[in-house]
A = this chain, B = another copy of it.
Amino acid sequence: MYSLLKSYIKSQTEINEEDLQFICSCFKPKLTSRNEIVVDFNDICDSYYFINKGCIRLFTINTEGVESSRYFAFEGMLCTALPSFIDQKPACEYLQTIEKSELLVISRADFYSLVEKLPQFGEIYKRILELGFITAQKRIYGFQGFDALEKVRWIIKHQPHFLLRVSNKMAASYLGISPSTLSRIKSKL
């Protein structure tokens, strides 16, 4: 159950077995079903989630009822509704497992306690933030000024499994195009 988490941590930092065990002991397993909402729109998010199996989507619904997805996380990745997690305000977005999933959950208190007490874990958190920042930027550049076809090509290049793993509707809401447009583009390659 914890082998993927362990190898994730070891890939991020030098760490001894004892500390590694201690970190893992802070993560509790949680099984979720397809399309289960783990963090609701008005919730204050107080956990960080490691995906042992399955897939998490972060999305919101605007005033006209249209979904907008901003992030998908897969096996071996950490994920949370970060703005809410950091500032302890309502998430204003949903965190959803779009497949039957096995999550490893660490509470905010334990997470920050690890960041404080274990310098290696502080390093990991810094790295998560840096990577998140870079990913968001790449996405902004990747989508800005591109037409629908170019966006689809971009996602195929940068996340080859994405379109295979995610429903047409969700993928479209991530790319900022309509499901029918995405469907038409896919049928032409």
Contacts and interface: CB of A to CB of B under 8 A. Distances in A.
B60 A141 contact: yes
A103 B125 CA distance: 29
Interface size on A, as a range, is 20 to 34
B134 A137 contact: no
Interface stretch (A1-9, A26-34, A62-70, A158-166): A62-70
Contacts of A130: 82, 86, 129
Given A134-B82, A134-B83, A176 B144 contact: yes
Contacts of A66: 145
A139 interface: yes
Query: This chain: how many copies in the complex?
Result: 2
Interface string A117-159: 0000000011001101110111111001100000000000000
A82 B137 contact: yes
Interface of A: 60, 62, 66, 68, 70, 82-83, 86, 93, 125-126, 129-130, 132-134, 136-141, 144-145, 173, 176
25 contacts: A66-B145, A68-B145, A70-B140, A70-B141, A70-B144, A82-B130, A82-B137, A83-B134, A83-B138, A86-B130, A93-B141, A125-B126, A126-B126, A126-B129, A129-B133, A132-B133, A133-B133, A133-B136, A136-B136, A136-B137, A136-B140, A139-B140, A140-B140, A144-B176, A145-B176
